[in-house]
Structure 1
């Protein structure tokens, strides 16, 4: 099989197995009848960062194809077109690299990157150890025996190749923003909550990198006094990993609550009045990140813990839980992004339904406002021209007061004057003197005349005296 076809075959094999091509090598050897475990152990002696092996036999070509998977990037230093593996003697394996490299950058290695990562110092130490080993063997004039000292020397040489294999030989990566932990940070520095959130997102993207490279990127983003915290940690724990770096920084600059108090705070976080469910979910996720970072909740259990508290903490949008059927998803909880996406979609649907009913309410409100304006319309002031206002020099003609004309009555004989008591006129046009006694007699006669016979007796004559 040609080299190009072998590379394409290996890349398709990686896709089938869900492996990144940058983290794999394809070895081609003559067909050998031996257990897969023995062959895997032989290859692991050559590649310390090996994580697994897949094997296929090609009977037509009498070849065995071996897909080597690594923890990080596939090793570069010391790996040529062929390698020798000690399996039933010296076995030559053809090496096929599967990653797609930029031809313009092929063969370029920046020495500054090697110095910054500490590989140059490791190389010098390994070289000095090898020279020391040769001198000891020459003095004893015997082959070196597997003593503890020589075993330590043997371990240093593979550690160098392991470090080189995990080293990223490119500077085209996004550096973290700076963090110092000072009370008044500089303009190019972040506060701790923003910085740690950014770092956690980058840690998820750095899964293919070795832990040494991750520690290096965290250290280069720190300034005093935050960098002093990591220096103290390295003196106490020389083999501390990148997650222990973040835990130490969290103890120094994070929330002062204990693990139990932080867990109780998470369970007491509920939706506020007027807060949208998506906003509540984002606020809940911030506290959950701290809980997971402290190690109170395992990352594998974070989805279920988040969903349970979200269901418990929703106080003002319980219909959203029913529409999304979240209680039925507790056995297979969604991730944070999946839950946030479904919650936001439901919020948009609810807002659209509410907007459909708003135009009708606006029309009704407009009609009520128009009717109110018609009822309580303001009185327009009357504009009076200057010509209609008499001046002070113009004499005002006074007209004599004239009483209004009397209203016509059909029968004047029934009209009684309340001044003189005579019949036929009213008091406004009466010129006679007042006679109250005559008025009272006329009124008594008038009232009794309506009820009786106008002579002071009732019509039936059965009035009882008291």
Structure 2
């Protein structure tokens, strides 16, 4: 305050001097903010949407980490079409991903034509590394591509669409003709026993040809439905076969049980007949039969050929002998008969 008094100033004078400076700083900040907003608005959109392209060199065989030209060209063309940026930026991004012979091709094009566009670069690369067939040749190849045995219709459609885009890149057709040509070739080239293709043959004339995504989605859904239906039918068939086998096995078991019961009853009957009690008449009948046989043998003249093993006399057996034992005579007769070879055996 003493300083202000010496200078002849007051506090109000200081506030008047400070307020213009404060106003100046505020205007400067506002101007800077406006400049930043303008810079952000004017910044290229391509910097936000930039995606690095895949590397391609054109070397043969294809190095590790790279793809062949057909796959690379299709991917690069698709990305360049999506980018909303200037053609200079597209050329810059395209040159960044090229190596070796591919980079040389683009450099030659730039030297010959400094105003060449990114499409000119792609055409030069296609001439150097792409297929040698022209649009007509590729269309003939498309017309002669058929569904193979065991190949799904969805896989066949993807294969056809790849050929169609090759023809499109060669300038052999317009993009508006893709759907019509695709459905026509599916009708021609699909297998006759494919159920999904059969449905397309019956209905394609009643509606406009669908685009690729809708057609592929519809075909895959039908293929999945047919697969699930066949799986369920196979499961039911296996179950019925298993039940039939179980029923036949049960029938065989029942038959075996019946046969076993019959065998058991037959065995019991035979055992009961084998152990049947012998009646009192059985010995008498046996003795009568033996006596009758012996008497018949004696009457037939066989009495002189037999002798008694008790007394040694001829004409009767030991069971019928009433004489005393004479073992010496019996042994002598046995020895004589052995020498003569007329030994009847033990009685």
**Superposition TM-score, scaled by structure 1 size:** 0.42
Distance 1:241 1:338 in 2: 34
Please say if residues 134 and 170 of structure 2, whose CA atoms lie closer than 8 Å, have aligned partners that are also in contact: no
Does the C-alpha gap of structure 1 residues 349 and 166 become closer, same or farther in structure 2, counting only changes over 3 Å? same
1:181 counterpart residue number: 58
Pick one of 74, 78, 81 that aligns with 1:204: 81
1:260 counterpart residue number: 136
Instruction: Tell me how far 1:180 sits from its aligned partner.
Output: 0.6
Instruction: Tell me how far 1:263 sits from its aligned partner.
Output: 1.3
Pick one of 226, 230, 233 that aligns with 1:357: 233
1:247 counterpart residue number: 123
**Superposition TM-score, scaled by structure 2 size:** 0.55
Matches within 5 A, 1:9-408: 106=37, 167-168=44-45, 170=47, 173-206=50-83, 208-324=84-200, 326-328=203-205, 332-367=208-243
Does the C-alpha gap of structure 1 residues 165 and 108 become closer, same or farther in structure 2, counting only changes over 3 Å? closer
Please say if residues 311 and 326 of structure 1, whose CA atoms lie closer than 8 Å, have aligned partners that are also in contact: no
Q: Deviations over 1:74-112 (max 9, x none)?
A: xxxxxxxxxxxxxxxxxxxxxxxxxxxxx9x85667xxx
353-362 or 186-195, larger mean C-alpha shift = 186-195
Count of aligned positions: 220
Instruction: Tell me how far 1:255 sits from its aligned partner.
Output: 1.8
Instruction: Tell me how far 1:185 sits from its aligned partner.
Output: 4.3
Describe the SS at the equivalent of 1:295. coil
Please give the root-mean-square deviation of Cα atoms over the aligned residues, in Å: 3.4
Distance 1:221 1:107 in 2: 32
Does the C-alpha gap of structure 1 residues 310 and 106 become closer, same or farther in structure 2, counting only changes over 3 Å? farther
Distance 1:169 1:287 in 2: 31
Distance 1:213 1:373 in 2: 79
Please say if residues 271 and 316 of structure 1, whose CA atoms lie closer than 8 Å, have aligned partners that are also in contact: no
Does the C-alpha gap of structure 1 residues 236 and 267 become closer, same or farther in structure 2, counting only changes over 3 Å? farther
Instruction: Tell me how far 1:169 sits from its aligned partner.
Output: 6.0
Is the radius of gyration larger for structure 1 or structure 2? 2
Instruction: Tell me how far 1:352 sits from its aligned partner.
Output: 2.2
Distance 1:187 1:106 in 2: 45
Tell me, which stretches of 5 or more residues in structure 1 are unaligned? 1-102, 110-163, 378-466
Instruction: Tell me how far 1:315 sits from its aligned partner.
Output: 1.3
Does the C-alpha gap of structure 1 residues 297 and 373 become closer, same or farther in structure 2, counting only changes over 3 Å? farther
Q: Deviations over 1:173-203 (max 9, x none)?
A: 2110111111244444332232122213213
Please say if residues 291 and 297 of structure 1, whose CA atoms lie closer than 8 Å, have aligned partners that are also in contact: yes
Q: Deviations over 1:376-396 (max 9, x none)?
A: 99xxxxxxxxxxxxxxxxxxx
Distance 2:126 2:133 in 1: 11
Please say if residues 56 and 67 of structure 2, whose CA atoms lie closer than 8 Å, have aligned partners that are also in contact: yes
Instruction: Tell me how far 1:213 sits from its aligned partner.
Output: 2.4
Q: Deviations over 1:307-366 (max 9, x none)?
A: 211121111455324535552267x32211111111111111211222231222112332
Tell me, which stretches of 5 or more residues in structure 2 are unaligned? 1-33, 254-347
* Segments of 4+ moved more than 3 angstroms: 105-109, 164-169, 184-188, 235-240, 316-319, 321-326, 367-377
Distance 1:323 1:276 in 2: 15
Distance 1:376 1:201 in 2: 70
